[in-house]
A and B are shown apart, each in its own frame.
Chain A
């Protein structure tokens, strides 16, 4: 019998209008193949992969196209079969901004030749971790943290593996539908992870607004008949899916500031990651696709799509029926933590969980910003237990010491404070900027320290050189004076005479 827990909630957070039914009412569309792929060689963590394909080379689905730069780096695979048309710099969305990186451009064909096949799944933990890196598997929750690195907990003791299916952000339903349709695979992947880290149980955490997913996971757990799987129903509250918030809700323990969950004995993995790992173990398929929610009032036919990594967002949207006429802008991610895109000519990456097209009626009206009235609402909803009103003050004063003291780096940028602020102060945006400025200030002060050191070294070098020159001059001068003065003058006169005679 599968155990069921009902967890308490974490500190702070807010109830939001979920808007998930728009996309979760349909099954995952699995037949999407774009006409071209833009596959980035960069990873959010670790060095970029090195492209090993040539222009015009024909490649199969699942074939290695980017070799890992070092032993612990991630590989990149082709997500469809086709022909390489270019290897060039292309824009891609990375953590809140669009930047340029080396991408392999592939013209796809409809053959769907598959190169990967089921591989031997070894017993040794290190070999398994290496294989996970070679399969390019990263966390699909949005952080894209390398899964092998997270599961590598040899020195630390992991008690519990938490499978995160909370999916608290409004509009997004990719994990929900994945659990509905592939619960068995998700749980099997979770079991493989549990074996790797040596945990004693798996907790599958799902918010109570996803009854279908909960049922599916129950059934699957019953079929697998494992006593180690436990299912936790979470009260629907944003941001329950935040790693630290989830751990607080299900275990009552708090992850200390600046530390990882593994430090207190937990590992958190997204359900999508578990599914990807299971696909690799069962079929040998590297991580070449993910479920993406395409939703919002601006989309004609909102749904969840199984998207090959590197598909252009524009093609994905036309697959979903295209834009409605009154579409106003495009957001990558949910409406709370996502960010606006200026163009849809960007590839879907492993971190892309949702593409949200907002129409004019959904658009937030820009309201006037009023001064802070110290109501303290932001502090009471902050899931990281920070004091947003004081952080924003320190930010306007550019007081970096104060910012650090107030725990700016613990801010998870969830946006709860923005929602409740009666003065409409753009708090989260300020914190993002403050984080950026703090980082810049630190690098600048390091640079300045180094510049000062090098400047002093240069001064020492110059004074040494000057001293050498001075000493030489002094020597020459002292030689010219004194007894041998006459003979030196004679020598010089003789030398010049000789030269003249030669001519």
Chain B
């Protein structure tokens, strides 16, 4: 009886130690998880999730258990991939209406622009150029169609057009 108890508890203790060690050395670091989450996101830096970019959002998902359905440009497709990867429950994207789209680019109507510079401050990828009080323009190759410039514009002169043609 005593031997059996000893042997069994011995096995249990060894396994516990092994598990502890494995947990310590083989666990993926948070950084790796953040990176993986970031690759699943569209990475167009639109900040519509409420975080200042895709990396911060990925970090928030990994560390602060943030909701995974905050990314409008990614759509349900991205949520599904995130849910798969993180083993979380799927739920549809909040506010998919204002979704950014890589197939569109912003266009500033040149007659209306007053050169207030607000759009270029809002642009996450510095794709809008223009001097204060002068007409601004979008460099369409760099524009990600994130729509962040649309609402700051006081004269409503920014619209989104298809990327090609």
Q: A448-B144, A454-B126 are in contact. List 15 more A-B contacts (CB 8 A).
A: A100-B165, A444-B42, A447-B44, A447-B102, A448-B44, A449-B43, A450-B125, A450-B142, A451-B43, A451-B125, A452-B43, A454-B45, A455-B53, A455-B54, A458-B124
Verify if A480 is at the interface (C-beta below 8 Å from B): no
Question: Which residues of B lie under 8 Å from residue A459 when comparing CB positions?
Answer: 53
Assign chain A's interface to a size class: 10 to 19
Chain A nearest Cβ from B76, distance in angstroms: 13
Verify if A429 is at the interface (C-beta below 8 Å from B): no
Verify if A474 is at the interface (C-beta below 8 Å from B): no
Interface of chain B, helix or strand or loop or mixed?
A: loop
Chain A nearest Cβ from B141, distance in angstroms: 8
- Whether A451 and B126, one on each chain, are in contact in the complex, defined by CB atoms closer than 8 angstroms, is no
Partner of B126, one of A448, A452, A458: A458
Within 8 A of B (CB), among A449-470: 449-452, 454-455, 457-459, 461
- Whether A447 and B144, one on each chain, are in contact in the complex, defined by CB atoms closer than 8 angstroms, is yes
- Per-residue A-contact encoding for B150-165, CB less than 8 Å = 1, 0 else: 0000000000000001
Question: Which residues of A lie under 8 Å from residue B127 when comparing CB positions?
Answer: 454
Question: Which residues of B lie under 8 Å from residue A454 when comparing CB positions?
Answer: 45, 124-127, 142
- Whether B125 and A455, one on each chain, are in contact in the complex, defined by CB atoms closer than 8 angstroms, is yes
Interface of chain A, helix or strand or loop or mixed?
A: helix
Tell me which of A444, A448, A450 has the highest count of chain B C-beta atoms within 10 A of its own C-beta.
A448
- Whether B102 and A452, one on each chain, are in contact in the complex, defined by CB atoms closer than 8 angstroms, is no
Spell out B's residues near A (CB within 8 Å): 42-45, 53-55, 102-103, 124-127, 142, 144, 165
A22-B102 Cα distance, complex, nearest whole Å = 48
Question: Which residues of A lie under 8 Å from residue B55 when comparing CB positions?
Answer: 452
Within 8 A of B (CB), among A283-325: none
A448-B53 Cα distance, complex, nearest whole Å = 12
Nearest to B123 among chain A residues (CB) is A458
A452-B44 Cα distance, complex, nearest whole Å = 7
Question: Which residues of B lie under 8 Å from residue A455 when comparing CB positions?
Answer: 45, 53-54, 124-125
- Whether B44 and A451, one on each chain, are in contact in the complex, defined by CB atoms closer than 8 angstroms, is yes
Tell me which of A100, A449, A451, A457 has the highest count of chain B C-beta atoms within 10 A of its own C-beta.
A451
A448-B54 Cα distance, complex, nearest whole Å = 10
Question: Which residues of A lie under 8 Å from residue B126 when comparing CB positions?
Answer: 454, 457-458, 461
